[in-house]
Each structure stands twice: as structure tokens, then as C-alpha cells.
Chains A and B, each alone.
Chain A
Amino acid sequence: MKKGKIFILLFSVILPNILNAQEKINTDNWLSSPGIIGTFVLIAIVMIIAIVILFVKLNGYIDSMKRRQINSQKLAFDDELIALDDADIDAILEKRKAALKYKLGGNELSGHALASDDKGLIQRIENDPNNAYFDEKKKTSLSLETPLELKKIIIYYIGAAILWLVLGTLIGQYLGMKFVWPEMDHQSWLSFGRLRPVHTNMVFWGWSSLAMIGLGYFVIARTSNTKIYNYTWAWTAWGLINTTIVLGSLSLMAGINNGGGEYREYIWPIMLLFAIGLVMTFINFYKTVATRKISEIYISNWFILASLIWTIVLAIIGYLPFYQDGLGETVIQGYYMHQGVGMWFMTFTLGLVYYYLPSALNKPIYSYSLGVLAFWTQMLFYTMIGTHHFVFSPLPWWLQTIAIVFSAGMVIPVVAGSTNFLMTMKGSWNHISKSYVLPFFLVGTVFYFVGSMQGSVQAFRFTNFVWHFTDFNVAHSHMTMYGIIAFFLWACIYAILPKLTGREPSQVLVGGHFWLAFIGLFAYMISLMAGGTYKGLSWIEGNAFIESVILMKPYWVWRAVGGSLMFVSHLIFAYNFYYMVKGYANMKPSVSAKKIEEITV
């Protein structure tokens, strides 16, 4: 009411002035003349106030009616109580007393009959659970009979991979701390420049590659329903790849660097060992698939075989010297470093997921054709986008434009792949809360979509403008190599190892691994993304360069914190692995399975 009055007062003062200000008076658009509008407003104010008052009054009247009704009901209830007999009152009180004292007997649902499983439905009875405080996850129900030789290969590949994971991320963590304390050490072998490629190459070629190949051996043998073509070659390749990483890391620390191009830092004689390892692995896989006992080639094998052949081509093109002087090297660098990620890690890991995800859920993949589409588009689009690492560089504008356009085209394989995985999980969501494997798959799938799409978006010229050269790139590469590849690999390892060895890791420790890695990755990513954005904006503003270093300092601290969590999760993972494979050779499968030749997938 008061406000309304103030309004009226204001208008009555201002209105005459507005009217006076009007110089020419005409009737053309009378509705929009200030006087008319003012009048409408005034009348409207009065009407609104009137309506408000009407509602308030009406409300008050309805309230008083209700109150009267309730009062009369209360009086009637009182009268009723007074009119009751003493005996009736006692009966009511006794009934209530009995109700309050009632306790469940414990056999309301089962009855008194003795428990017996006449139809053999119960698989497992747990009288003494692992822990009383956490939700018990489902145990692996199936144990697979696998040739001991194959088991040994898988376990040794994964074991070596884990060694490199722990060592490689320890180095990464040390590098992250150097941003906060640049004077940590004064050893040439441990300096930032030399150690950075040691970290990246170790987690690439050591951890991810060995784990992928190890898991691949199982998929190839199982989906071809046959034995691995040649076990000796598998061991030779294992030795070659591990030698590559030992020699490569030592030479980088000694200052022998191929030229500083990312992931091409090992000199060719060392990388040659890796390439020979890949060729042997390829022939071994190919021959195994060629002698398969079912006519169809499962989609996983498409991805795995192709990723091997693509990576062999890639390594050859990346290291041949004929076209690498001047910016020729830069073209190849863009091509090589992007395809290293896209054709090797991503393609191979997708192949693994196409097997391990449906097998963990015990149902087929949602759409086989969608997988085939993802395969061909992966080849077509991923190959073309290397130069998006050099947007605005002196490389030809057309090459940059192709890279940007095809980066956008990456939507097709990524959406096809992530839709396929999510639709496979659909209907089994309740399994996720009951399984320790599926959360890893879910996180990997979500990051597959988010990380890849973020990469495509980052290739656009405007986003490149802000983010290129900043720490945002580092965040992106961890989102993909860690969020996608590492999480998928963990999912596959936790899915298969207990089936091979018959020993399941403690569920609390698997949970610890999952949450520390997940939260650590988030802290790592978010801090570098935020810091990287501010850094880019500071450059655009034209501030002195050192200001962008100073503003990054708190974000580098949070990155180091995130990195520490990730590293701790790897130690837990290493222990879980140890627990799973301890004494695997003497383990008897818990359920006697059929011979491998008789099992079809």
C-alpha cells in the first residue's frame, strides 16, 4: 500500500514535466504518448492494488470460516470422549500398549520351514563378509579355463605395465612438484627438460602399450576360439618393448634426445626395438585370427589388428628422414603425435572395450554395426587431424583447415562408440552399484565422450586462440590418456584377472583405487583448465609474460595435489594386482569349466 502511494506521488510529480516536454502535439500514435501511457499505468496501479486488497480480504474470510469449523469439530470430539465408558477407555489403552511393545520375530518372511535349495539356485553363501561397513559387491561368478602359457603372458605383460605405471607416474608427480619448487634438485639427469619425455614415453609405451597388448592376447585367443599362434614371439616382443623403455629413459636422462618432438624423443635405434616388438605382435595376432575356429571376425579384432598395422606404418613414417628438414618435420610431428594417440592407444583400447564390457555385463554389445561404423570413421577422420596441434603456425593454412574440419568430424566415431557402450550398459545400471568393474567402464566411457569432444572443440580457431600453448593442453592430454585409456585398461584388468587366477582383490582397495584416481584426475584437470584459461587471457591482454607464470602458481599446487592422489591410487592398484596374481599357477578354477575349444563366445 505504501509503495503504491509513493508511486502515485512520483508519477504525479514527473508526469506534468513529461507532458510539458512534449513540443508538438499530434494524434498519430496517441497510444504511445507519455500522457496516455502514464494514465494507463496509474489506473493499472489502482486496479492492481484493488485486486490485492480483494484477495487479502477474501483470504481472511475463508480463514475465519475454517477456524470456526475446526472449533466446532473439537467441541464435538470432546463431548464424545466425555461420553465414553471407563471399560471402553481401558480397552483402547491396552491395545495401544501391546502395539508399542511388538517386536519382529525374525522369521516373518521365511516361515518355520527349514532352508533348502532344492533347485540349486544358490551359487555362494557368505556367512562372514569382507567388511561390515561397505556394500558388498558381486563376486566374479565365472572362472575361465585358459592355457597356463597364455595366463602367464597376460600376467607378465600387465605386471610390467604396472611397474612402468608406478615409476612413470612417480616421475610425473616429481615433475609436477618442480613447478612449485624449481630448486628441488640440481642433477642434470633429473632436470625438468630431460625428465618430461621420460614420463610421457614411459606411461605411453610402457604402461598403456604393454597393458593393452597383454589384454589383447586374451581377446584374440578367446574370440578366435583358438590358441595363440606363437608363445615365444609374445615373450620376445615383451622383452623388446621393455628394453626400449629402459634404454630410452636412460638415454633421455643422459641428454640423448631425438629432437624434442613429443613422443618421438627416443632415438631411432631404440624405437626400432619397439617397432620390431609391434611387428611380431601383429604377426602373432594376425596368424591367430587367421586360424580362428569361427567364421566371423569379432569387432574387437578389427580394432586391435588395425591399430597394430596403423602404428607400425606411423612409426615408419615418423622416423624416416627423407622429408623431415625444415617445416617438413613439423608436419610429420603433428601427424605422428596425434596418430600415436588416436590410432594406437584409442583404437586398441576401443577394441578391448568391445570385448570386455559386454563380457563383464554378460550380454552382447548393443550394436555391432555401430561398432563397424566407428571403426571406419575412426580411420577416416582421425588420420587427418594431426595439424590441429599447429593452428596459427607457419604451416599451410589449408592443412590447418582440414585438421579443424576433420576434428569436428570426430563427432561421428566418438558418438557412435560412446552410444554403443552406454546402450550396452543400459538396463544394467543396477549392476554398476553392485560391481567394482563397471564404474571404471562408466568413467572411461564418459571421458571418451567428454575428452574427445573437448579435443575437437579445442581445435577450433577461437578456442585455440585462448588455450594453445597453455597448461590447458596438459589437462586435455591427461583427461584422455588417463580418463579414457587408463580407466578402460583398469576396467579390463579387474574384469579379467580374477577369472584367470581365481583370486579377487579386496573390494575396499578397489574402491580406494577408483576414488583416488577419479578425484585426483578431477583436481588435476580442473586446476590446469582454469589456470590455463587465465593464462591465455593474460597473454591476450598483453600483460608481461612473467605475470602468467605468477598467476599459475596456485593452480600448479592443486595439480601437484591431484597428481599425488593419482599416484597413491596406482600404488593401491599395484597391490591389488599382486594380490590377484599371487600363486596363480597353483590355483584351481572354482567352477569346473569346459575346455576352451568347446566354449563359444
Chain B
Amino acid sequence: MLNFHKEHKNLVLTAGGVFIALSILIAIVPAFQMQGTEPIPDEKPLTAEEREGLHVYVSENCMACHTQQVRNIEMDNVWGSRPSIPSDYFYSKKRMDVWRQSPSVLGSERTGPDLTNIGIRQPSEDWHLLHLYNPRAVVSASVMPSYPWLFREVDSASLKKYDKVVAVPKELFNKPGKKIVASYDALRLVDYLKYLKQTELPGGNVNDFIPALKKIQAERSESQQAGGLDGAKLYSQVCAACHQDGGKGIVGAFPSLVGSAIVNNADAEKLIRVVIQGYDARTDYGVMPPFGDQLTDEEIAAILTHERSSWGNDAAPVTADDVAKVRQYVEMELNK
């Protein structure tokens, strides 16, 4: 019989042996199993640039505050259209190099938003660059650190053609004859962030979230029955990141919607077009990405109605039919 009280060798061997056996069972075997997953057919591998961006992401330890996992519970539905599955991580979670292991992008803390779908939610490069330069320039209540070391201060005269100038508002940076230019690392990091999109599963995403509290679900189905979407809420989720909560935008980066001729035009066609197709007609502002694929006709109508009736704007509401019509025109033009 093993006498642990008197035989140190048996004690240490038993404690070590059982622990190793349990560890193999609970960690190593499942780890090998999880490693065997394959990518989703449509999943895109990271390009060399995007992978460099992932390395910057790890260096700055972004996973201290940002997760990349959509859990299978209702409240995580805002971060992705389906729960994350092991295959989602096939390309991003690979050993980085001899020195560094596969990055722990899943994270454990959501001090900032989940980034699983940030490439869809926020496709604008200008927004990302300004946000990295100073998050409070675009989200006033943000507590994220600024990353000025990912940017350079350059003389306007010596600007190179390929330099990416960041439109920083005057309150934050005001030196005559100087511009803020994104560094190589900043551009790669934004490449990576724009890469982060949930791949649609073959046959379409199945929404299999575990329902949240009954109350919310009831509310949701009620509002769906009534046909009323909350334009203000949608605006704050989709548009406010750039155009800000009060619709005032940011001078030099994102145009104001307050009193805007396009927003207040009696004929809303142009406005709907901008949302569906995106907009890049003005050099003094950043590029507006297209939202046609991301939002339904009803959602666009609700958002635009909100914009046209808020902050002193006063124009007729937009209906889902109006949006559907414009969408048809756009598709016809594309087909030509």
C-alpha cells in the first residue's frame, strides 16, 4: 500500500502522475481535437498585409479590452449574425513565429466592443484611422487609449503621394503647415480590422442564439408586429460612430447632417442613394462606405426618417417603399 505520509517519492509521483493524466484528458486531447477543424468554404485567408496588422493587434495587446467571439446567447446577436464556430478562427489563430504563439484573440474582457464583425459594422478606413489617432475625436465617451505612435507629423510641403493623411479635427491638432500621416503599422492594423467579418455559412446563417429574457423577446416581436423600427436606436448603432449623436459630424472628417441640403431635400432619392451606395464626392471629408448590403429597406427608412426629423431638420418621412425603389434603380444602373 502506498504510504503517502512517509514515502515522499510515492507522494510526488502520484500527485504528478494523476495531474498529468487529468491534464491530457481535459486539455491536450480536446486541444488536438479543436486544432483539427477546417475553414468554412467561403472563409478568406488573411493577406500578408492583414497578417502584419494582426501582429500589431497583438503587440498593442488589443485583446486586453476587445473580444472576438460571438457567444450563442441572444445579447451577443449585436456582434454578429450567428454564434462563432471553431472554423471562424482557422486563418487568424496560427502560430505567429518561432517566438510567439497563436494569438488569443477570443479575449476575456469586453471593456470595448467585440470586434468579430468590425469590418462590416465599420468599413471606413478614415474612421478607423481617426479613431486610432484619438478615439475621443469620434466617440466622445470612449476610454480607449490614443495611439499617436502609429502616426507621424509631416510638413504639408513634404507630403508624398502615397501618404495617407488623417483628417484630425482642429481642436486636437492645430499646427499650421503640418499634417498627421498614418504610419505603415496603422494602415496594416486597419487592414486587419477591415478584414474582420463573419463568413456566411453555406446555406445561410442559422440564428441559433439561446433566447435572452422573455421580456425583451416579447418587446421585439411586438415592435416587429407594429412594423415600427426605432430609427434613433438604429442611428446610434450604425451612423453615430461617424456622424455623432447630435448629427453634427466632425469637421474635416465626417460631414454634419444638421441642416444638410441632401438630408433635408424634399426628394429623398439622393439621400437614400448615399446610404445604399456610399459617397466619395467631397475631398474635404472621408469616404462614406455603402450600407446597402448591411441594412434592410425598413431599417434605412427608419434611420432616414429619424435624421430628417431630428436636430432641427424638418423634412418628410421616408418610407420603405421609397428605399426599395431607389434600390431597384441602383441595381438597374449596375446591370447596365
Q: Given A386-B26, A542-B78, do A297 and B61 touch, yes or no (CB 8 Å)?
A: no
Looking at the assembled complex, report how far the CB atom of B129 sits from the nearest CB atom of chain A, in whole angstroms.
16
Looking at the assembled complex, report how far the CB atom of B87 sits from the nearest CB atom of chain A, in whole angstroms.
8
Which among B8, B37, B73, B146 has the greatest number of chain A C-beta atoms within 10 A? Answer: B8
A256, CB-defined interface residue at 8 Å: yes
Chain A, 541-563, contact with B by CB distance < 8 Å: what is the 0/1 string?
11011100110000010000000
Cα A292 to Cα B5 in complex, Å, equals 13
Task: Specify which chain B residues have a CB less than 8 angstroms from the CB of A384 in the assembled complex.
Answer: 22, 26
A290, CB-defined interface residue at 8 Å: yes
Interchain CB contact (< 8 A) of B95 among A325, A327, A465, A550 = A325
Looking at the assembled complex, report how far the CB atom of B196 sits from the nearest CB atom of chain A, in whole angstroms.
15
- Closest B residue to A180 by beta carbon equals B143
Q: Given A323-B31, A326-B89, do A297 and B26 touch, yes or no (CB 8 Å)?
A: no
In the bound complex, do residue A267 and residue B100 qualify as a contact, i.e. CB atoms below 8 Å apart? yes
Would you list which residues of chain A between 225 and 274 have a CB under 8 Å from chain B?
252, 255-262, 264-265, 267-269
Task: Specify which chain B residues have a CB less than 8 angstroms from the CB of A389 in the assembled complex.
Answer: 108
A591, CB-defined interface residue at 8 Å: no
Looking at the assembled complex, report how far the CB atom of B254 sits from the nearest CB atom of chain A, in whole angstroms.
17
In the bound complex, do residue A327 and residue B145 qualify as a contact, i.e. CB atoms below 8 Å apart? no
B45, CB-defined interface residue at 8 Å: no
Task: Specify which chain A residues have a CB less than 8 angstroms from the CB of B93 in the assembled complex.
Answer: 325-327, 329-330
Would you list which residues of chain A between 453 and 490 have a CB under 8 Å from chain B?
465, 468-471, 473-474
Would you list which residues of chain B between 10 and 48 have a CB under 8 Å from chain A?
11-12, 15-16, 18-20, 22-23, 26-28, 30-35, 37
Looking at the assembled complex, report how far the CB atom of B26 sits from the nearest CB atom of chain A, in whole angstroms.
5
In the bound complex, do residue A193 and residue B8 qualify as a contact, i.e. CB atoms below 8 Å apart? no
Task: Specify which chain A residues have a CB less than 8 angstroms from the CB of B72 in the assembled complex.
Answer: 392
Q: Given A192-B64, A540-B216, do A332 and B27 touch, yes or no (CB 8 Å)?
A: yes
Q: How many A-B residue pairs have CB under 8 A?
A: 259
Looking at the assembled complex, report how far the CB atom of A85 sits from the nearest CB atom of chain B, in whole angstroms.
87
Chain B, 139-151, contact with A by CB distance < 8 Å: what is the 0/1 string?
1011111111100
Q: Given A259-B104, A260-B105, A324-B31, do A269 and B95 touch, yes or no (CB 8 Å)?
A: no
In the bound complex, do residue A379 and residue B104 qualify as a contact, i.e. CB atoms below 8 Å apart? no
In the bound complex, do residue A327 and residue B34 qualify as a contact, i.e. CB atoms below 8 Å apart? yes
- Closest B residue to A383 by beta carbon equals B22
In the bound complex, do residue A550 and residue B141 qualify as a contact, i.e. CB atoms below 8 Å apart? yes
Looking at the assembled complex, report how far the CB atom of A54 sits from the nearest CB atom of chain B, in whole angstroms.
53
In the bound complex, do residue B75 and residue A258 qualify as a contact, i.e. CB atoms below 8 Å apart? no
Would you list which residues of chain B between 93 and 118 have a CB under 8 Å from chain A?
93-96, 99-111, 113
Would you list which residues of chain B between 188 and 235 have a CB under 8 Å from chain A?
210, 212-213, 216, 233
In the bound complex, do residue A470 and residue B110 qualify as a contact, i.e. CB atoms below 8 Å apart? yes
Cα A297 to Cα B12 in complex, Å, equals 11
A4, CB-defined interface residue at 8 Å: no
Looking at the assembled complex, report how far the CB atom of A3 sits from the nearest CB atom of chain B, in whole angstroms.
41
Cα A503 to Cα B5 in complex, Å, equals 36
In the bound complex, do residue A328 and residue B32 qualify as a contact, i.e. CB atoms below 8 Å apart? yes
Would you list which residues of chain A between 28 and 59 have a CB under 8 Å from chain B?
none
Cα A331 to Cα B110 in complex, Å, equals 19
| Contact-size category for A | 35 or more
Task: Specify which chain B residues have a CB less than 8 angstroms from the CB of A179 in the assembled complex.
Answer: 143
Cα A469 to Cα B84 in complex, Å, equals 16
| Partner-binding segment picked from A7-15, A103-111, A309-317 | A309-317
Would you list which residues of chain A between 268 and 317 have a CB under 8 Å from chain B?
268-269, 286, 289-290, 292, 295-297, 301-302, 305-306, 309-310, 313-314, 317
Interchain CB contact (< 8 A) of B94 among A313, A325, A402 = A325
Q: Given A325-B102, A327-B86, A335-B27, do A379 and B73 touch, yes or no (CB 8 Å)?
A: no
Task: Specify which chain A residues have a CB less than 8 angstroms from the CB of B63 in the assembled complex.
Answer: 260
Cα A261 to Cα B95 in complex, Å, equals 13
In the bound complex, do residue B101 and residue A329 qualify as a contact, i.e. CB atoms below 8 Å apart? yes
In the bound complex, do residue B8 and residue A326 qualify as a contact, i.e. CB atoms below 8 Å apart? no
In the bound complex, do residue A329 and residue B102 qualify as a contact, i.e. CB atoms below 8 Å apart? yes
Task: Specify which chain B residues have a CB less than 8 angstroms from the CB of A255 in the assembled complex.
Answer: 59-60
In the bound complex, do residue A394 and residue B105 qualify as a contact, i.e. CB atoms below 8 Å apart? no
B326, CB-defined interface residue at 8 Å: no
A399, CB-defined interface residue at 8 Å: yes
A186, CB-defined interface residue at 8 Å: yes
Cα A296 to Cα B7 in complex, Å, equals 8
In the bound complex, do residue B108 and residue A262 qualify as a contact, i.e. CB atoms below 8 Å apart? yes
In the bound complex, do residue A379 and residue B103 qualify as a contact, i.e. CB atoms below 8 Å apart? no
In the bound complex, do residue B31 and residue A286 qualify as a contact, i.e. CB atoms below 8 Å apart? no
Cα A290 to Cα B213 in complex, Å, equals 59
Task: Specify which chain B residues have a CB less than 8 angstroms from the CB of A540 in the assembled complex.
Answer: 75, 212-213, 216
A396, CB-defined interface residue at 8 Å: yes
Cα A333 to Cα B72 in complex, Å, equals 20
Q: Given A182-B144, A541-B216, do A305 and B83 touch, yes or no (CB 8 Å)?
A: no
B136, CB-defined interface residue at 8 Å: yes
Cα A179 to Cα B12 in complex, Å, equals 45
B4, CB-defined interface residue at 8 Å: yes
- Closest B residue to A189 by beta carbon equals B149
Cα A444 to Cα B88 in complex, Å, equals 43
In the bound complex, do residue B27 and residue A331 qualify as a contact, i.e. CB atoms below 8 Å apart? yes
B274, CB-defined interface residue at 8 Å: no
Interchain CB contact (< 8 A) of A326 among B26, B34, B59, B147 = B34
- Closest A residue to B144 by beta carbon equals A182
In the bound complex, do residue B23 and residue A191 qualify as a contact, i.e. CB atoms below 8 Å apart? no
In the bound complex, do residue B65 and residue A383 qualify as a contact, i.e. CB atoms below 8 Å apart? no
A196, CB-defined interface residue at 8 Å: yes
- Closest B residue to A291 by beta carbon equals B8
Task: Specify which chain A residues have a CB less than 8 angstroms from the CB of B16 in the assembled complex.
Answer: 306, 309-310, 313
CB-defined A-B contacts under 8 Å, sample of 16: A178-B145, A252-B61, A261-B101, A269-B99, A297-B8, A309-B12, A317-B28, A319-B101, A329-B31, A332-B31, A379-B22, A392-B76, A473-B108, A545-B78, A549-B141, A549-B143
6 further A-B pairs in the complex, CB-CB below 8 A; given A187-B149, A328-B102: A259-B100, A289-B8, A305-B15, A317-B28, A330-B93, A471-B111
In the A-B complex, the 3 residue pairs with the smallest Cβ-Cβ separation, listed nearest first, are A193-B61, A261-B104, A392-B71
Contact residues of A with B, CB < 8 Å?
Answer: 178-179, 182-183, 186-188, 191-194, 196-197, 252, 255-262, 264-265, 267-269, 286, 289-290, 292, 295-297, 301-302, 305-306, 309-310, 313-314, 317, 319, 321, 323-333, 335, 343, 372, 379-380, 383-384, 386-387, 389-390, 392-396, 399, 402, 465, 468-471, 473-474, 539-542, 544-546, 549-550, 556
